[in-house]
Amino acid sequence: MKDNPIIIKKYFNFLSDQQFKQFSELGETYEILNDKVNLISRKDFSNLYTNHILHSLAIAKVIDFKANTRIIDVGTGGGFPGIPLAIMFPKVHFCLIDSIGKKIKAVTEIVNELKLANVEIVNIRSEDFYPDKKFDFIISRAVASIDTFYRWTKHLINKKSFNDLPNGILYLKGSNFKDEMKERDYDYSFFSIKSYFPDFKFFDSKVVLYLNLIEDWRRCKSPY
C-alpha cells in the first residue's frame, strides 16, 4: 500500500474534509521542514504516513477522547504523537513539550501552518513543567523506559477523570515493554497496534501501553 494520506482515511473513514485536508498538508509541511531540521530520519521519510502518523493515531483506536480533555505530549520531538491526534480530536486541548528548542520551533511552524487552534507548545522538560497545570492523559512515543517516564511525568496528572478510561499514561512502545514492567507493580493494559492496522509489518511488535494512574494513586497513596 502506497504511503500517503489515503492510508489514514482507510482506517478512520469518518474524517471530515477539513481533517483529511490537514493530514494531506501535514505530509507536505514535514517534507519542507525536514530539510531544515531532522524531525524524521531521512531514510524513513518515505514511510511518514505509516510509521509516524498512523502509528500516532493508534492511540485514537484505544480511546475516543471526549471534548475538553487535556493531553500533554512529553518529548514530542517532531510532533508525534501529538500533532496527528490534535487533528483527529479538534475539541481536545493538546500541550506539546520538548527540551530541544530547534524541534519545538519546527513543531510550532507545523501547528501554525495547519492552523491547529487546539495545540499549545512549550520548550521545557517535563520535570520542570508548571506545577499548577494538570492533564487528563500523558502521551508519548517511547522517549525513555516506562519506569523513568513514570517518575518524570506522574505529577502532571489530574486526579478527576471523565473519559471512558481513567486518567493515565498512553505510551507507544515496542515488544520490550513487558521486561520494563517488572520494575514496578503498575496497573496497566496494552493494546496490539497490529490488530488495528493489520496491513503493515511495521506494527507487528508495537503496542499502546496504558497505565491507569488514578488506580495507581489509590493503591500507592502517592501524593503526585
198 belongs to a structural domain: yes
Instruction: Give me the pLDDT at residue 224, please.
Output: 45
Domain that holds residue 170: 6-220
Quote the CA–CA distance of 137 and 85 in Å, as a whole number.
12
Assess whether pLDDT exceeds 60 at residue 221: no
Q: What digits encode the pLDDT tens for the residues 61-93?
A: 999 999 999 999 999 999 999 999 999 999 999
The C-alpha atoms of residue 194 and residue 6 are separated, in whole angstroms, by 18
pTM: 0.94
Q: Residue 167 falls within a domain, yes or no?
A: yes
Residue 11 inside a domain? The answer is yes
Residue 184 forms part of a structural domain = yes
**Is 143 or 212 the better-scoring residue by pLDDT?**
212
Residue with grid cell 509516524, as numbered in its chain: 52
Residue at 162 is within a domain: yes
Q: How far apart are CA 71 and CA 84, in angstroms?
A: 13
What is the DSSP secondary structure assignment for residue 135, as one 8-state letter? B
Beta-carbon neighbour count of residue 16 at 10 Å? 9
For the segment 137-146, the average pLDDT, to the nearest whole number, is: 91
Give the CA dihedral 44, 103, 122, 71, nearest 10 degrees: 0
75 part of a folded domain: yes
The total of structural domains in the chain comes to 1
Q: Which residues have CB under 8 Å from 41's CB, separation 6+?
A: none
In a domain, 1, yes or no: no
CATH number at residue 165: 3.40.50.150
Cα 22 to Cα 41: distance, rounded to the nearest angstrom:
22
Rounded to whole angstroms, what are the CA distances from 64 to 83, 90, 155, 190? 16, 12, 24, 16
pLDDT bin (cut points 50, 70, 90) of residue 19 is: very high
Within-domain flag for 24: yes
Given a contact cutoff of 8 angstroms between Cβ atoms, the answer to whether 3 and 48 are in contact is yes
Quote the CA–CA distance of 5 and 52 in Å, as a whole number.
Answer: 12
